[in-house]
Copies of this chain bind each other. A is one copy, B any other.
């Protein structure tokens, strides 16, 4: 298959991915779907580390999602995360849940903890039985090579149709203490909020109280992974996990409104947004990265509704692929977004700084060559100004190319 490169996204530089004290990562090639491919990741956490997460809202949620939700609320503390690619263990019924439990038990045996202290995650093809024996056989190797600086290999190990690994680190100094936040994510197709077909793991050495940790991961998801779409398909396996090991010298943060709470939230959200945008830049077949900004709505929901109508329209997305300023398709998408009392003569449509439409039609100042110039770029902002309120929403999407069809018509083969 011919490879399309992601849009302005380069692989992470290993030296720039910072270890997080209290997190150790091991990788294995377990031959789950293909041979000679990293497909198993173990993230071991130090004693006392806290974990919170958000999961897919798909009713056909995968077995590992069910099991991870259960394990997160038990009192013993999470000691490790186990991630496999090549098989989603979704649409696998009761057997799938048993298989997820068996995988947790296998890792717990190696690490000397309880099975309920393991969080399982799977990504890959749906409705195929999880090859538990291969996972169990791969685990000793993964455990044997656990290292704190294994983040680059970990980012690779969770990839499926991703072309480049997605990982980033940030540091923030709070009360004189340097806090590290490192995150990895995977996802490329079946990407739509609530959530995307994505797995994301963000770890920090800060100590964060459990309720605040949950609040922080929810807020980070809402500003990042819940603002992207590649194809409008919401997956069965999505999960974003936030780990706080508490290994830094900073005292525990318990309030979102404290200076430390705000600084941590900002840094965590920044990492999440980087990872979410990276998923869109590496969207299946993507050749363009498109920011959709809707302003002046009566509510954020309304802005998101209009933004998503644009961001998931196949006609809009193929026009961007063709660099064709066939911008009436954006107007059509705004019109069918479902805002019944929308006054289309009051809104303005911009492509980057170019005013395209106003008063219900093409702007008098608009010249096709200006639209054409912006359309040729690889990073483009569609801006819709509704002029009916103060709410704003920003979403990210990509274009729709031959390669999306090619990748998804041949995914299993």
Contacts and interface: CB of A to CB of B under 8 A. Distances in A.
Contacts of A402: 402, 405-406
A88 interface: yes
A401 to B, nearest CB: 6
The complex is assembled from copies of this chain, and their number is: 2
Contact of A332 (B90, B94, B337, B339): B90
B360 A91 contact: yes
B406 A127 contact: no
B91 A328 contact: yes
A362 B42 CA distance: 28
B405 A60 contact: no
Interface residues of A, number: 69
A190 B332 contact: yes
Nearest to A95: B361
Contacts of A125: 326, 328
Q: Which of A57, A192, A362, A413 has the most CB of B within 10 A?
A: A362
A83 interface: no
Interface in A47-101: 57-61, 88, 90-96
Interface in A119-171: 125-128
A222 interface: no
Interface of chain A: mostly helix, strand, loop or mixed: loop
A96 B361 CA distance: 8
A390 interface: no
A411 B329 CA distance: 12
Interface string A207-245: 000000000000000000000000111111000000000
A345 B88 contact: no
A331 interface: yes
Given A126-B328, A231-B314, 7 more contacts: A59-B336, A126-B331, A233-B333, A318-B404, A321-B405, A326-B412, A405-B405
